[in-house]
Structure 1
Amino acid sequence: MNPTGKTLHWAIDKWFAPTLARPVHVLRFYRTRVHRHCVCVEAMGSGGLLSIFFFRHDDGSWNVYPPAQARPAMSAWRTL
């Protein structure tokens, strides 16, 4: 369960507001080598076809921006 409440269903409702007359379609589901998930969703809008990629973050939430990549880090401690 995702603690933020930002499920994929929530994100699709927020960005597309689907109805019976304007349904959405999941086109592709991607899983990368580092176990990241990405979903491409599309719907027909008033201006034409709209496609949005949703990315799953480490906290379980789904957003339209990709999660930050883990970067190498160094630390130093001063000893007396």
Structure 2
Amino acid sequence: MSPTGKTLHWAVDKWLAPTPAKPARVVRFSRMQGQRRCVCVQAMGSGGLLSIFFFRHDDGSWNVFPPAQARPAMSAWRTA
């Protein structure tokens, strides 16, 4: 479980609000570069079929936006 409490189940409930009559189902599971996970979940909504991609972040939480890319950084150390 993620420290933030944003599990995949929590994210699907928040964004798709599945019910027994209109369940949500995972239709695609993949790994992005750097072993990051991505899941596509579909559910029937009032306007038709709705598909949302969920991305797993480094802290273990699941969100609808991808995690930020690690960028090169530079630092300087002052020596005496």
**Please, what TM-score do these two structures have when normalized by structure 2?**
0.93
Partner of 2:59: 59
Partner of 1:48: 48
Distance 2:42 2:31 in 1: 18
Distance 1:24 1:2 in 2: 21
Partner of 2:77: 77
CA displacement at 1:33 relative to structure 2:
3.2
- For residues 8-30 of structure 1, give each alpha carbon's deviation from its aligned partner in whole angstroms, at most 9, with x where no partner exists: 00000001111111111100001
Could you tell me which runs of 5 or more consecutive residues in structure 2 were left unpaired when the two chains were aligned: none
Cα RMSD, aligned residues only: 1.0
CA displacement at 1:77 relative to structure 2:
2.4
SS in 2 for 1:11: helix
CA displacement at 1:34 relative to structure 2:
0.6
SS in 2 for 1:43: strand
Identity %: 79
SS in 1 for 2:76: coil
Distance 2:33 2:48 in 1: 33
Distance 2:65 2:33 in 1: 18
Segments of 4+ moved more than 2 angstroms:
77-80
Distance 1:57 1:78 in 2: 34
